[in-house]
Structure 1
Amino acid sequence: MQKVLVVEDESVIRTALRRLLERNGYEVSEAGSVQQAEADFNLGDYDLVISDLRLPGAPGTDLIRKAGDVPVLIMTSYASLRSAVDSMRMGAVDYIAKPFDHGDMVSAVERIIADHPTAKAQERKTSSPPGADATGGENGLIGNCPAMQTLGNHIQRMAPTESTVLVLGETGTGKELVARSVHQQSKRADKTLISVNCAAIPDTLIESELFGYEKGAFTGANASRMGLIEAADGGTLFLDEIGELPMEAQARLLRFIQEGEIRRIGSVHSRKVDVRLICATHRNLQQLSAEGQFRQDLFYRINVLCLSLPPLRERGKDILHLAESMLRRQSATSGRRAMHLSPRAIQAITTYQWPGNVRELEHAIERAVILSDSDEIDNACLGIDLELVNINRIRGQDGIQGNPASTRGNNNDPQEDLSLEDYFQRFVLEHQDSMSETELAQKLGVSRKCLWERRQRFGIPRSKSGANPRRRKSSSQSG
C-alpha cells in the first residue's frame, strides 16, 4: 500500500484529507508542523508528502529539502496561490489551491506517485508478485494498436529534442499524459513541468498568470510576481487548450517563442527564459487561424512537431485492455476484491462509441466499481444501454458510418455526427411508412416494447398510414 504523509496545522483539514486518502486505498500519517513530521516520521518511507505552505514554525517548503527523493505536493490558500509558483521553483512537484475538490486531490496524488516513484516504491514493486502493478503502460499510456505504437515511437524520437510539440486529440484522449511522457523522456526530466489549462483561467488574468507582473502594474499588484513561464525556466511548460488563448495573450506568447524572453506586465525590462514548450488542443487550429480566431504566425510556430492521439473508438482491442487495467486499479483503490467484467459488459465496452474517450471510460469503470454489489461488473453498472448499442451497430448497414461526407436526402450534416438518439428518431421517421412495427424493431435490434417506449420518450407518434403489408397486398390484388 502506498504511503502518504499529510502535514497541516488545521486539524479539521488534516483529518478530512486523511479520511479521503484512506478511502482511496492509501496509508496516511499526520503531522501538524515540519518539526513534528521530522521528529515523528522517517520521510524517506513515504511515497508522497502533502504539506500546507504556511505552517507554525518552519514553512512547508522546508520539507522539499528534507524529504530527499520523496515528492512534495504543496497546498496553499487562494490568496497566496502565486507563492506556490516559488515553491515549485524550490522543487515542489505541484501545488493545489484550498479549498480543493476531492476528485482533483485524489487525481493529483495518483499522478504524482505514478510520475515520481521513490526508491522505497521501486523496492516494493520489485518484491511484488508478477502482475501486481495495475497502473498500466509507461506514464499511463496503455495500448498496442498501430496508432498507439506509432505515437510511442514518435514520442521517443521527439522527446530528446528541444523543439516545440503540438498534441492534437479529442477531449478525454489523454493529451496531458502524452505531454508528461514527452517531458519525462526529455533532457529536462529532472526539471519542473508546469501545466496550464488556458481555458480555465479568465481572459483578464491569463497574461498576468503566464508572464507575471511588477509591483504597481495595476490595482492590487502590491508586490512583484513571476509568471508561470518564468517559473518553468529550465524545464517544460505545457499549455493545454491553447486554442482558447485570447488574441492579446497570443501576441505575447509569440514574442516569447521567437525571442526566448518574457516581459512582466508593468516592466520595461525583458528576461531571458529557457523553456521547452508543449501545446495541446482538441480544436482545428488551422481552421481557427483561417477564420481569424487564432494567429496564423503563432500556429506555424507551435506546429513544429505534431502528435495525434486516436479517439478511443478507433483503438480496437485497446479499449478492453484499458477497461481491465482501470478496473484492477479502481478495485484496489476502493479496497474491493479483484473484480471482472461480465460478457455483457465486455460486449457493451467494445461496441459503445465512447464520445468522451478515455476519460468517459474511466468514469464509467469508477461508477461501476462503486455501484456493483458483486465482483462481476455488468453493463447496467457501466451505464451503457445495450439497446442503443444495437442501434449503433446497424448504422453501417444504413450508410451512416464510413464516408463522413455521405448524406441522406437533402440534409447536409455529416451523418456520423448523429447521436444514437438522433439516429433512432431519424430511422423511425424515415421508415415507419414502409415498415411495420415488428420490422422496425427487428431492423433496430430492439423489442417492440422498447420501440414503443422510445417512441413515447422522444414524442414520435405512429404513422396514421402505418405500414400494413396485408392491406397493401389486398389493395394491389383488387386493382
Structure 2
Amino acid sequence: MPRILIVEDEAIIRSALKRLLERNDYDVTEAGSVEECHDLELLDYSLIISDLRLPGDPGTALIERATPVPVLIMTSYASMRSAIESLKQGAVDYIAKPFDHAELLETVSRILHQQSIRQSPAPDITDEGGGRQTMVGNCDAMQQVYTRIRKTAPADVSVLIQGESGTGKELVARAIHQQSKRANAALICVNCAAIPETLIESELFGHEKGAFTGASAARTGLVEAADGGTLFLDEIGELPLDAQARLLRVLQEGEIRKIGSVETRHVDVRLIAATHRDLRSLSKSGEFRLDLYYRLNVMQIALPPLRERDDDILKIADILLDKACQRHDRQGLRLSRAARQDLRDYPWPGNVRELENALERGVILAEGHLIHPDDLGLALHPSHSRGPVTPPAIRHLRRRKSSDPNADNDLSLEDYFQHFVLEHQDQMSETELAQKLGISRKSLWERRQRLGIPRKKAPRRPD
C-alpha cells in the first residue's frame, strides 16, 4: 500500500485530505509544518503532498530533503508564478486549492505510477561474446520497456517486439530470455529478412536427406535447436506465408515436421518475434496470417525511436564512444560541444545503430583530442530541426529532378532512395552505393528489404 505524507497547517483541510486518500487505499501520515517532518524518515514515503505556504519553511523545502520521493505542492495562490517556481525547484507537480477530489486522486495516481516506472531498473544482459552490459535509457518510454520486460519474462508467453530498425529489439529479446525460466537453455536468434525465401523453411524446420536438390544430408532446423529455450525471430513480417503456417503449428500444437519427413516431433519453444512493420495491416492485405498475429501478440513491447529519447541520446553516445575508442586504441577522445549539440539535433533515422556508426567514424577521423561535427558526417539541416536527413547522393538527385520540368518534385526521401539505387546499381558496387547514400552497407540492405528493391543479379559464369 503506497504511503503518503500530508504536510498542511490547516487541520480541517489536512483531515479531509487524509480521509479522502484513506478511502482510496492509501496509508496516510499527517504533519502541520516542515519542522514537524524532521523526525520522520521521508524516504519511507511514496509521495509527499505539501502546502506551499506553511509556518516557518515553505513546502518546497521538503523537495531536496525528500529526494527521490516526489513532492506534490498545493497552493491557494493559483498564480502561474508560484506554481512555476515550485516546479523549478523540483516539485513533481502542483495543484491549486480548492481542488476537485477526482482531480487530486487522478494526479496522485499518475505520480505514483510514473514513480514506479522510474524505479524499474534497466535489465543486465549477456551479449554474444559473454560480456555483461546494461540497457541504457532513463526516459519514461524506456522505463516502461523495462517494466514490461520484468513482468513478461517469467510468464513464458509469446512476445511481439515492435520498433524501428536499430532500436535494439534483439537486446530486449535477450533480456526477456535471460530473466525467464529458460535462461539456462538456448536462445536462437534468426533474422527472417536475411535468409532467402527458398531456404527459410529448411533453416527453421530442418530437412531430411534427399528432400530436395542439394539436400545431401539431414539437417536440424533452428526451431528444434531452440527446444527447451527461446526462439527469437527478427523481422518476422518478412516470413513467407508457407513458413507462417508451419510456425503457427509450432505455437498451437508444439510440433514440427522436417521437409521431406512424415514424422512430427514435439518441441517446447518460447517464441519472441520482432518487426518494424504493422503486422495487422499486413494481415488485411493477405501478406501476414491474422491467426499467427494473434498468437504472437500475447504480450507486446514497443521500443521508442532514438529521436524520441532526447535525454538518453548523449548518455548512449558516451557509452558507444568509449567502446569505439577502445576498439581503435584512441583513449581520451571527447565530443566537442558543437558535436554534442549535433547529436541531440539529428533525427537518427537509423537509430542507435546509426549513432554507433557515426561515433565510429568520428573516432577514426578525429585529429587531436576532440571529435568535431565534420568528423561525425551528419547531414544536419542548417536550422538543426529534426526533419528528414538528405544524404549527398539524394540531394544531387533532388536538384537534378527539380531542374526537370517533367519530374515529380513531390517524391519522398524513400522514393529518391529507390530511384538512385535502381539507376546506379548496374555501375556501382553495394559498397559504393552505400557510400554515395551516406549509409552503411547493412542499412542499404535493410532499406532494400523494406522497399522491396532487388539486388542486381550477378552474371552467370560460363560452364
One-letter amino acid of the counterpart of residue 210, structure 1: L
1:162 has 2:156 as partner: yes
Indicate conservation of the 8 Å contact 2:345/2:384, yes or no.
no
One-letter amino acid of the counterpart of residue 172, structure 2: V
Deviation track 1:116-152 (CA, whole Å, cap 9, x = no partner) reads 56xxxxxxxxxxxxxxxxx5xx2xx200000001101
Pick from 392, 397, 413 the counterpart of residue 385 of structure 2: 392
Match of 2:225 in 1: 231
Instruction: Please list, as runs of the form range in 1=range in 2, the aligned pairs for 1:112-131 lying within 5 A after superposition.
Output: 112-113=128-129, 115-116=130-131
Distance 1:219 1:392, change over 3 A: same
Match of 1:357 in 2: 351
Which structure is richer in relative contact order (CA contacts within 8 A, separation 6 or more)?
1
Distance of 1:457 and 1:380 partners within structure 2: 26
Indicate conservation of the 8 Å contact 2:379/2:389, yes or no.
no
One-letter amino acid of the counterpart of residue 200, structure 1: A
1:329 has 2:314 as partner: no
Deviation track 1:206-260 (CA, whole Å, cap 9, x = no partner) reads 1111111112222232322110100111111000100000011111111111000
Which deviates more from structure 2 when the two are superposed, residues 297-306 or residues 214-223?
A: 214-223
Distance of 1:337 and 1:267 partners within structure 2: 56
Match of 1:31 in 2: none
Distance of 1:291 and 1:331 partners within structure 2: 47
Distance of 1:455 and 1:309 partners within structure 2: 32
Indicate conservation of the 8 Å contact 2:205/2:259, yes or no.
yes
Match of 2:214 in 1: 220
Runs of 4+, deviation exceeding 4 Å: 418-422, 453-461
1:301 has 2:295 as partner: yes
CA RMSD in angstroms comes to: 2.5
Distance of 1:457 and 1:265 partners within structure 2: 51
Please give the secondary structure, in 2, of the residue aligned with 1:213: coil
Deviation track 1:77-116 (CA, whole Å, cap 9, x = no partner) reads xxxxxxxxxxxxxxxxxxxxxxxxxxxxxxxxx9423x45
1:193 has 2:187 as partner: yes
Distance of 1:174 and 1:200 partners within structure 2: 17
Indicate conservation of the 8 Å contact 1:345/1:379, yes or no.
yes
Indicate conservation of the 8 Å contact 2:362/2:375, yes or no.
yes
1:342 has 2:358 as partner: no
Deviation track 1:339-365 (CA, whole Å, cap 9, x = no partner) reads 211111011000110111110000000
Distance 1:148 1:391, change over 3 A: closer
One-letter amino acid of the counterpart of residue 189, structure 1: A
Distance of 1:165 and 1:258 partners within structure 2: 15
Distance 1:207 1:455, change over 3 A: closer
Indicate conservation of the 8 Å contact 1:379/1:385, yes or no.
no
Gapped regions of structure 2 (runs ≥ 5): 1-125, 405-463
Please give the secondary structure, in 2, of the residue aligned with 1:292: coil
Indicate conservation of the 8 Å contact 2:159/2:297, yes or no.
yes
Gapped regions of structure 1 (runs ≥ 5): 1-109, 118-134, 396-417, 426-452, 462-479
1:173 has 2:189 as partner: no
Distance of 1:303 and 1:389 partners within structure 2: 42
Distance 1:190 1:261, change over 3 A: same
One-letter amino acid of the counterpart of residue 216, structure 1: G
Give the count of matched residue pairs.
278
Deviation track 1:421-463 (CA, whole Å, cap 9, x = no partner) reads 89x99xxxxxxxxxxxxxxxxxxxxxxxxxxx999788569xx
Distance of 2:210 and 2:338 partners within structure 1: 63
Distance 1:218 1:455, change over 3 A: closer
Pick from 248, 258, 279 the counterpart of residue 254 of structure 1: 248
One-letter amino acid of the counterpart of residue 332, structure 1: Q
Indicate conservation of the 8 Å contact 1:195/1:237, yes or no.
yes
One-letter amino acid of the counterpart of residue 390, structure 1: S
1:311 has 2:327 as partner: no
One-letter amino acid of the counterpart of residue 318, structure 2: E
TM-score by length of 2: 0.57
